[in-house]
């Protein structure tokens, strides 16, 4: 049986993902290229980072829900983020491509969140980005909405949409 907590987590995530998509669609090409203070990436790279983060969150949640360790380290994440920013810049990732990725990865992550059972949410596994500290799946599942929400606040500030 699926969990009410899982449904709430999925709905919170879906809501913020819709906000990110609406923000991206509303950006002008000039706004898309503005640098986000504190992140030192352009708005486009930040929003694309959110979309890629959905796929990473999906992978991590699939592992954690089964009690399998997430072996990525904080250094791995930092390195991946730098590589991602460079790749986005080199490929000149645009709004339409980013929105498509937000929709695709967002739908997959939302579906997984909805399917989690109470037992899976309580499942604990070592989480590499937290130094290997054992965490319950529900704690990581809540990050699915917090991660994009935090970046969205910064991106909105950069373009003057608060």
Q: What is the pLDDT of residue 50?
A: 96
Q: What is the pLDDT of residue 88?
A: 77
Q: What is the pLDDT of residue 92?
A: 80
pLDDT, tens digit (0-9, with 9 covering 90-100), for 113-137: 999 999 999 999 999 999 999 999 9
Q: What is the pLDDT of residue 87?
A: 82
Q: What is the pLDDT of residue 1?
A: 54
Q: What is the pLDDT of residue 35?
A: 93
Whole-angstrom Cα Rg for the chain: 16
Residues of the chain with pLDDT under 50: none
Q: What is the pTM of this model?
A: 0.92
Q: What is the pLDDT of residue 89?
A: 77
Q: Is 4 helix (H, G, I), strand (E, B) or coil?
A: helix
Q: What is the pLDDT of residue 91?
A: 75
User: Rounded distance, CA 126 to CA 71, Å?
Assistant: 8
The chain-wide mean pLDDT, for the chain, equals 93
Residue 92: CATH number of its domain: 1.20.120.450
DSSP state of 132: T
Residue 134 contacts by C-beta under 8 Å, 6 or more apart in sequence? 124, 125, 126, 127
- What's the domain range around 60? 4-159
Q: What is the pLDDT of residue 162?
A: 55
Q: How many domains does the chain have?
A: 1
């Amino acid at each position: 049986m699926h969990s009410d907590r899982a449904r709430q987590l999925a709905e919170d995530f879906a809501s913020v993902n819709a906000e990110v998509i609406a923000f991206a669609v509303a950006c002008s090409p000039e706004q898309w290229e503005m640098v986000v203070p504190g992140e030192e990436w352009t708005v486009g790279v930040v929003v694309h980072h959110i979309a890629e983060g959905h796929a990473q969150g999906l992978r991590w949640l699939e592992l954690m829900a089964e009690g399998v360790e997430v072996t990525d380290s904080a250094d791995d994440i930092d390195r991946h983020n730098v590589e991602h920013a460079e790749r986005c810049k080199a490929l000149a990732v645009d709004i339409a491509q980013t929105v498509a990725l937000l929709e695709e990865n967002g739908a997959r992550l939302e579906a997984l969140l909805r399917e989690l059972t109470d037992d899976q949410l309580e499942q604990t596994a070592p989480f590499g980005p937290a130094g290997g500290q054992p965490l319950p799946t529900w704690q990581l599942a809540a990050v699915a909405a917090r991660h994009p929400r935090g970046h969205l606040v910064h991106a909105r500030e950069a373009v003057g949409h608060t």
